[in-house]
């Protein structure tokens, strides 16, 4: 019940009130071992959470909340194939997609690992043959460009992985991702491509997602115009459970890859949805990506709460959201290869935990979820860090960085790491008025100038962040990082008593769009449309060219 969770979460407020009286700067001064006390390592990743407004008593209270809310029991129920997605009566088994052990995993009494491994073997065979030009175009030419057509998890996941693992990419294959129903997206992609050497992968579980099928039909028409209708079978593959619709579209059954209703879209990169990424980086690297996630799964399933990295990351998020009332979370990878990671996590987190009713259907009376955003460093420093450092809202941040770069450009990487380290320190320490006045005086400013300028150069500091470090962004590390955040989001959902695995919030807009489409096309205006929508439609129609 929502009121019970609120009472549990309200137990954090006395700790928050106590801690707010002490700055993080002072906490570090009083405890030389603060880093050791508030850091944890797993799967070759270090998480330093010492730069948070937290102490041992508050952390203990958070671990107790995790126990009261039965995080471990819910985690075990997920692994056991229970229907923890209660609104859709589905199991949640994305961990099984990367599992390589001997344990039997069941959903509805049926073993699922043989099916998973069969599809994985098909992905291996197909991706390898595309890379080796054993599968060719209708003209017998080697494919040079792969266009993935999907949206949501069917786009963000493989796109993120492809960009993150660019150092492992096939030199002669270019991957493109089309998601938006805006015609500019598919048009701008196709105008650069040669139909004779282009392969399309349509990623849609039901093969009915409006944006995806609209883009797929446009791609099909483009191909047929150049190569004829028979070419479709050679130039299209699909990731879907709707075999008949794929066949009707013209896709050969051998080129259709399935997945299951116990795989949510935003958790599906580990399935055949990862096919374009496997083509880009090679199946062995894709398998290492799965292995890295499996390592984090094992850590999450077996480590005690106090040493469990996903649990700790989740509890820090609970603390910031529910005890300190911080509404946003910045994801700041100091790793250009992770340029799509913030967008990927934006969907993963906000679609999962953007809920306002609990598992029993009662409205929650506490905060859930957070606004997730981010950009790679150092670009973000010249965009929105002004607000992070001096804005009226405090925004917790996760900083991520690779110790070693793929590129042999040490001057670049050393400067990148220096900025990575400096930004979290600046957020924590700040700069008080006394420091500012002293610096301005030393620079030769007059007393009048100092008085005018000083308030603008003060940094309050005491702004929380987590720092994550890993040796190099290889496939295993990326798998572990991605799984880390998956489990973090799951733990938070358990504590908030919400369903992290449905997404009913995306439905209403889609339904309304279908009813408005005929009007946009010039149909009759219904009587019950509100005046704003009516006015917008009239203006739109009057100005159409």
Which residues are the active-site residues?
A: 351, 382, 510
Measured at the alpha carbon of residue 85, what is the angle toward residues 79 and 88, in degrees to the nearest 5? 140
> How far is the C-alpha of 422 from the C-alpha of 428, rounded, in Å?
10
Structure tokens at 94: 């994305």
Q: What is the DSSP letter of 431?
A: B
**Cβ burial 173-189 (10 Å sphere, 16+ → b, else e):** bbbbbbbebeeebbeeb
CB < 8 Å & 24+ apart, contacts of 253-261? 255/126, 257/119, 257/122, 257/123, 257/126, 258/119, 259/119, 259/205, 260/93, 260/107, 260/112, 260/115, 261/88, 261/90, 261/205
Six-digit token string for 63: 């671990």
Indicate if the alpha-carbon torsion angle 48, 54, 56, 62 is positive or negative.
Answer: negative
Ramachandran angles phi, psi of 106, nearest 5°: -120, 145
Structure tokens at 437: 């006045």
């Amino acid at each position: 019940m929502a009121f019970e969770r609120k009472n549990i979460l309200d137990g954090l407020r006395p700790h928050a009130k106590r801690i707010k009286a002490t700055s993080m700067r002072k906490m570090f001064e009083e405890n030389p071992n603060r880093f050791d006390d508030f850091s944890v390592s797993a799967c070759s990743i270090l998480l330093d959470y010492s730069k948070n407004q937290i102490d041992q008593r508050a952390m203990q209270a958070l671990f107790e909340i995790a126990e009261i809310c039965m995080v471990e029991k819910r985690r075990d129920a997920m692994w056991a194939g229970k229907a923890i997605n209660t609104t859709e009566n589905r199991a949640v088994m994305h961990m099984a997609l990367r599992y390589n052990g001997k344990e039997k995993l069941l959903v509805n009494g049926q073993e699922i690992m043989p099916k998973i491994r069969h599809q994985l073997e098909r992905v291996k065979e197909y991706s390898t043959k595309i890379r080796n030009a054993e599968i060719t175009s209708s003209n017998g030419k080697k494919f040079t460009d792969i266009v993935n057509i999907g949206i949501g998890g069917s786009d963000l996941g493989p796109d993120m992985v492809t960009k993150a693992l660019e150092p492992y990419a096939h030199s002669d294959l270019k991957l493109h991702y089309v998601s938006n129903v805006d015609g500019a997206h598919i048009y701008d992609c196709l105008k650069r491509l040669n139909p004779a050497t282009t392969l399309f992968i349509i990623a849609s579980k039901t093969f009915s997602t409006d944006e995806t099928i609209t883009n797929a039909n446009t791609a099909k028409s483009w191909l047929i115009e150049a190569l004829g209708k028979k070419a479709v079978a050679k130039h299209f593959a699909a990731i879907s459970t709707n075999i008949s619709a794929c066949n009707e579209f013209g896709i050969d059954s051998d080129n259709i890859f399935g997945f299951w209703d116990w795989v949510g879209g935003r958790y599906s990169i580990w399935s055949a949805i990862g096919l374009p990424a496997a083509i880009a980086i090679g199946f062995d690297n894709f398998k290492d990506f799965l292995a890295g996630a499996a390592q984090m799964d094992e850590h999450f399933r077996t480590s005690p709460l106090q040493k469990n990295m996903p649990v700790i990351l989740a509890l820090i998020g609970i603390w910031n959201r529910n005890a300190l009332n911080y509404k946003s979370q910045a994801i700041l990878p100091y790793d250009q290869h992770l340029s799509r990671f913030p967008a990927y996590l934006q969907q993963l987190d906000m679609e999962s935990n953007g809920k306002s009713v609990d598992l029993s259907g009662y409205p929650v009376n506490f905060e859930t979820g957070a606004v997730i955003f981010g950009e790679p460093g150092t670009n973000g420093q010249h965009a929105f860090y002004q607000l992070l450092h001096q804005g009226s809202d405090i925004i917790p941040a996760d900083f991520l960085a690779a110790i070693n770069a793929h590129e042999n450009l040490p001057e670049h990487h050393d400067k990148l790491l220096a900025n990575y380290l400096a930004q979290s320190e600046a957020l924590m320490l700040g700069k008080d008025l006394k420091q500012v006045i002293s610096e301005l005086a030393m620079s030769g400013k007059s007393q009048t100038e100092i008085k005018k300028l000083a308030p603008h150069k003060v940094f309050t500091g005491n702004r929380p962040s987590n720092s994550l470090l890993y040796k190099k962004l290889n496939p295993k590390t990326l798998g572990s990082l991605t799984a880390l955040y998956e489990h973090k989001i799951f733990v938070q959902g358990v504590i908030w008593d919400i369903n992290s695995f449905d997404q009913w919030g995306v439905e209403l807009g889609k339904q309304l769009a279908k009813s408005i489409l005929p009007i946009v096309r010039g149909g009759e205006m219904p009587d019950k449309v509100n005046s704003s929508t009516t006015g917008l439609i009239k203006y739109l129609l009057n100005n159409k060219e």
